[in-house]
Amino acid sequence: MTKRKPIVIGVTGGSGSGKTSVSRAILNHFTELSVLLLEQDYYYKDQSDVPFGERLKTNYDHPLAFDTDLMIDHLEKLIHFVPVDKPVYDYKNHTRSDKVVHLECRDVIIVEGILILENQTLRDLMDIKVYVDTDSDVRIIRRIKRDIEDRGRTLDSVITQYLSVVKPMHEQFVEPTKKYADVIVPEGGQNQVAIDLLITKIESILMQNQIEEQE
C-alpha cells in the first residue's frame, strides 16, 4: 500500500491581488478534509540581532527578507508527515516573535505568498502553482484600504511605500514568476469559474491518491 502524499498548492500574486481570497475559497470548500495554510509572511527572517533603527528599513517585498530555507525545510517535513513549529512574526518589533504555531501534515497544503515561486526549490515542491493576476489599480486600492483600516497607516505613508518599494519590487521579482504558474487566475477571489476549476483539479488528484493508496 502506497502512503498518500499531500497535495501542495502554491498561490501567489502581487500585494492586494486577492491570493488570500483564492486560498480561503479552497480552504472553505474542502471542509471535510484536513487542509493546511502555510503563509510566506510567517517566514520573514529573525532580526533580533539587528538594531531596531535598521529593522525599520526592512524591505518586506524583497526575496532576501524571507527565511526561505526554513520554509522549504518545514514544507518538506510536512510532505513527509513530520510536524513543524511555524514561526510567528512580530510586525511591531520587526523581528520574529517567541511564539510558534504547531502544524501537523494535512491532505492539502496551500502555500501562499508574494514570492513563493521565486525560489526553484520551493516551487518544485508544489503540485499546482497558481498566479493571481489583478490590475495594479485594483491592487493599490485594496492595499490602501487594508493598511488604513487594519494597520492604522496614513494615506500618504501607504502611497509612498507603494511607489518606492512595493511597485518596483513587484515588477522586479513578483511579476516575472508568472511564467512558472500552471494556472493564472484573473481578479482573484472574484473569479469563481477559475476557483471551481482549481477545486475540480484538486479533487481529481485526491481521488487518484486514494486509488493508489488502496493498491
99 pLDDT more than 60: yes
Residue 61 is classified by DSSP as T
Locate the domains of the chain by residue range: 7-214
Chain-wide mean pLDDT for the chain? 89
Query: Does 13 belong to an annotated binding site?
Result: yes
Residue 33 is classified by DSSP as S
Grid coordinates of 156: 500618504
pLDDT for the residue numbered 191: 85
Query: Does 17 belong to an annotated binding site?
Result: yes
107-121 per-position pLDDT tens digit: 889 999 999 999 999
Q: How far apart are CA 180 and CA 64, in angstroms?
A: 20
Residue 162 is classified by DSSP as I
pLDDT for the residue numbered 177: 96
Q: What is the mean pLDDT of residues 92-121?
A: 93
Q: How far apart are CA 145 and CA 180, in angstroms?
A: 30
32 in helix, strand or coil?
A: coil
186 pLDDT more than 90: no
Task: Give whichever of 10-24, 59-73, 133-147 has the largest mean pLDDT.
Answer: 59-73
Neighbouring residues of 176: CB distance < 8 A, sequence distance ≥ 6: none
* Amino acid in the structure at residue 212: E
Instruction: Give the residue among 86, 84, 107 at the shortest CA–CA distance from 31.
Output: 107
Q: What is the mean pLDDT of residues 119-147?
A: 90
pLDDT for the residue numbered 215: 65
Q: What is the mean pLDDT of residues 179-188?
A: 89
Query: Does 113 belong to an annotated binding site?
Result: no
Grid coordinates of 39: 503563509
Query: Does 21 belong to an annotated binding site?
Result: no
69 pLDDT more than 90: yes
Query: Does 14 belong to an annotated binding site?
Result: yes
Q: What is the mean pLDDT of residues 175-186?
A: 93
1 pLDDT more than 50: no
pLDDT for the residue numbered 109: 93
**172 HSE (CA, 13 A, CB side):** 9
Altogether, the residues listed in the chain come to a count of 215
The arrangement of secondary structure in 7-214, i.e. its CATH architecture, is: 3-Layer(aba) Sandwich (3.40)
Q: How far apart are CA 129 and CA 117, in angstroms?
A: 8
